[in-house]
Structure 1
Amino acid sequence: MTQRPPAELEGFVWGRMPAMADLWVEAWQEAMPEIDFEARRGWLCHRVEALLDEGAVIELAVEPGAGTLLGFVCVHPRTGYVDQLVVHPDHWGEGVAHRLLDVAAACTRHPLVLDVNEENRRAVHFYEKAGFAVVAHGTNPTSGRPTLRMERRAGG
Structure 2
Amino acid sequence: MVTLFRRLALLSVLCAAPAAAQGFEDLDMLESRLVAALGAGIGEAGGPANPIDRRLKLAACPSPAMFDAPRLGAATINCEPLGWRIRVPLARSASVTLAAAKAEPVIRRGDQVEVIAMGGAFRVSTLAVADEDGSPGERIRLRSDRKSAPIFGQVTEDGRVAVTGFN
TM-score of the two chains, using structure 2 as the length reference: 0.26
Larger Rg: 2
Q: TM-score, normalised by structure 1?
A: 0.27
